[in-house]
């Protein structure tokens, strides 16, 4: 009797994005399709917010966006020792934070998932629940970080010098420096995997608990959905703060050396 209550098939879990239609010969997956919709929303919404910002603060959602801006600006200003350099890097990281935040929160809407189907697969899948998307974001961010840190430290040789504690001709320092470089290269993977796994596993947890609840699904999945709202914002914050810190370590190190030699 009790087994009749539960469906014979388990909860539906998707790890990878599925192709939903072809644009010419290019396959379009459901996660990039939803990503485009969210990007259009982000652009339109932020242009609307930018027109509404005044000296006398407006009420409503605009205040929330202003709060997010100031939060990230404070974070960057406290990470960098030099305030002029901090101002230079603010725009990129604010963009990164808002895009990840809004993409993550759009995961939780009921229309993202099984609601609409195309070619047998869900039509909308969260953009950040796709390893290709998070890997692209992490690769672009780390590329920007490497480019800026090479520029800030003044040349490629000086940038490589950050990895060595002492002279690179000492064999012990050489091995430690090479180990540091290898851990530096794994940052792209750790950044992308962290975001991807958190979003995907959040989806799976909500899916599993709404399956266990059956007709009580709204009640059984509610606490996990509320936790997800918090975790999604936390993951956007962590992605931003880690990439800011990777840049700030090199930039602060470079400006320290200038002070010592002067």
Partner 1 sequence: MFLATTISTTLLAKGLMIGGGFIGPGIGIGLIGGNYLQAVGRNPEAAKFLGQALIFVAIVELFGLLAFASIFII
What's the sign of the alpha-carbon dihedral 220, 103, 122, 19? negative
- Residue 193 binding partner 1, by CB under 8 A: yes
Beta bridge partners of 28: 21
Residue nearer to partner 1 on the CB measure, 75 or 250: 75
Closest CA to 197 of 101, 141, 126, 130: 130
Buried b (16+ CB within 10 A) or exposed e, 162-195: bbbeeeeeeeeeeebbeeeeeeeeebbeebbebb
- Euclidean distance between CA atoms 63 and 57, whole angstroms: 7
- Residue 235 binding partner 1, by CB under 8 A: yes
- Euclidean distance between CA atoms 32 and 136, whole angstroms: 12
Give me the 153-192 binding string for partner 1, x by CB under 8 A, dash otherwise: -------------------------------------x--
Residue ranges in 68-107 that form contacts with partner 1 under rule CB under 8 A: none
Beta bridge partners of 118: 121
Q: Which stretch binds partner 1 (CB under 8 A): 137-145, 160-168, 175-183, 234-242?
A: 234-242
Least distance (Å) between residue 12 CB and partner 1: 13
Q: Which stretch binds partner 1 (CB under 8 A): 19-27, 92-100, 209-217, 238-246?
A: 238-246
- Euclidean distance between CA atoms 61 and 67, whole angstroms: 10
Of 28, 73, 238, 249, which lies in the binding site for partner 1, with binding defined by CB under 8 A?
Answer: 238
Of 213, 241, 246, 257, which lies in the binding site for partner 1, with binding defined by CB under 8 A?
Answer: 241
Residue ranges in 16-75 that form contacts with partner 1 under rule CB under 8 A: none
Which pair of structure tokens corresponds to residue 143?
A: 């590329």
Q: Kindly state the helix (H) or strand (E) to which residue 239 belongs, with its residue range.
A: helix 217-261
Of 79, 200, 210, 243, which lies in the binding site for partner 1, with binding defined by CB under 8 A?
Answer: 200
Q: Which stretch binds partner 1 (CB under 8 A): 97-105, 140-148, 163-171, 193-201?
A: 193-201
- Which spans of this chain sit near partner 1 (rule: CB under 8 A)? 13, 15, 190, 193-194, 197-198, 200-201, 234-235, 237-238, 241-242
């Amino acid at each position: 009797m009790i087994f009749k209550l539960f469906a014979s098939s388990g909860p539906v879990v998707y790890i990878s994005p599925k192709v939903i239609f072809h644009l010419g010969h290019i396959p379009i997956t459901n996660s990039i399709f939803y990503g485009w919709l969210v990007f259009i929303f982000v652009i339109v919404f932020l242009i609307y917010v930018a027109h509404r910002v005044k000296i006398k603060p407006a009420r409503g959602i605009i205040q929330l966006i202003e709060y997010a801006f100031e939060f990230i600006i404070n974070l960057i200003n406290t990470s960098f020792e030099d305030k002029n350099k901090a101002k230079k890097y603010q725009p990129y990281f604010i963009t990164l934070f808002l895009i990840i935040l809004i993409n993550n929160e759009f995961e939780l809407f009921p229309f993202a998932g099984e609601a609409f189907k195309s070619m047998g697969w869900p039509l909308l899948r969260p953009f950040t629940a796709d390893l290709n998307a998070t890997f692209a974001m992490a690769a672009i961010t780390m590329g920007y970080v490497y480019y800026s840190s090479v520029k800030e430290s003044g040349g490629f040789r000086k940038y490589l010098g950050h990895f060595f504690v002492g002279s690179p001709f000492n064999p012990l320092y050489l091995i430690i420096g090479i180990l540091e470089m290898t851990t530096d290269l794994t940052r792209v993977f750790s950044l992308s995997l962290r975001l991807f796994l958190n979003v995907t596993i959040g989806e799976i947890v909500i899916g599993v608990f709404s399956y266990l609840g059956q007709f009580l699904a709204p009640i059984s999945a509610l606490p996990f959905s509320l936790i997800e709202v918090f975790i999604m914002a936390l993951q956007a914050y962590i992605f931003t703060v880690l990439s800011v810190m990777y840049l700030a370590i090199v930039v602060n190190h470079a400006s320290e050396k200038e002070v010592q030699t002067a």
